[in-house]
Amino acid sequence: MSRRVALALGSGGARGFAHIGAIEVLEERGFEVSAVAGSSMGALVGGVMAAGRLKAFKDWAVALKQRDVLRLIDPKWAAAGAMGADRLINHLNEFLTDIEIENLPIPYTAVATDIEARREVWFQKGLLRTAIRASVAIPGVITPVVVDGRLLADGGLLNPVPIEPTAASGADLTVAVSLQAPRPAQEPASPVRAAAAPQWVEDWRGRLRQVLHTREPKAAALPEDLRIGTVLGLSLDAMQDLIARYRMAGLPPDIHIAVPVSASGILDFHRAADLVVLGRSLTTKALDDAGY
């Protein structure tokens, strides 16, 4: 008899392709997914799986090249986000179709954030693609949407790994896949105390001796290859890692599969093939360690 699994799929942009590998391994080992909840990319992969289109979605994703991703991006530089994501969602209609969430074969929840009311929104009814579009609206990157009068953005803002919607599913065990790996044991979580002095203070002091008046030091230059997407991604990862750890401490899963943030950037959608393989590897190890 197969074991019933409640699956919580986390947010984290392109790293969410690792969810595909995790689901594949669970199915290969005889687990039956009896409920799934997801935030952001977790909502997308979970929804495609619930709709029975995961294999077709994977085939499409692993074939994506960087130029293909750029064609799917809908620039909205003057709007509330860098990308509209409408072209991408429209392209995904092949996988999401017009199916209603309540007609999916398994209970499904897409988590979004009402950024005005500062509360989670759980989509458990209505159009699957509408729920996913709301959940994937990464702040500053993908424009938010208005649904039922609510201004909605990425579910990972408040619930990066949504275990709670599956709590009443009656599953044998809960499996959570987070996309922000836990902090290494040797790296403390406590605040770091640092001086605000620039790293070049000694050089500045040396120059000061050569002049007769004090000058205001110039700020250190940022790395030349630093982009806004990288800054947003790192900032969101830091925030979601902390929130996820606190929330999972209150409602821990039976099995936690953690994909490291170093696996890819949030917009590296052309790296799907590598991320699927990583998801398979991490899930295999987690199940082996748990005796499954």
Q: Tell which residue, 86, 45, 13, has the closest CA to residue 233.
A: 13
Q: Considering only CA atoms, give the Rg of the chain.
A: 21
Residue 46 tokens read as 């979970």
What does the CA dihedral 231, 234, 235, 240 come to, rounded to 10 degrees? 160
163, 37 contact by CB (below 8 A):
yes
What does the CA dihedral 15, 19, 25, 29 come to, rounded to 10 degrees? 150
Q: Which residues pair with 111 in a beta bridge?
A: 39, 122
169 among known catalytic residues: no
What does the CA dihedral 200, 206, 209, 214 come to, rounded to 10 degrees? -10
- The total of other beta-carbon atoms located within 10 Å of residue 100's CB is 13
Catalytic pick from 74, 114, 154, 268? 154
Catalytic pick from 40, 135, 169, 264? 40
List of residues 6+ apart from 158 with CB closer than 8 A: 111, 113, 118, 119, 120, 243
Residue 146 tokens read as 């208005």
Task: Please name the helix (run of DSSP H) or strand (run of DSSP E) that holds residue 115, with its range, or none.
Answer: none
40 among known catalytic residues: yes
Cα–Cα distance between 200 and 203 in angstroms, integer? 5
Give the catalytic positions in this structure: 40, 154
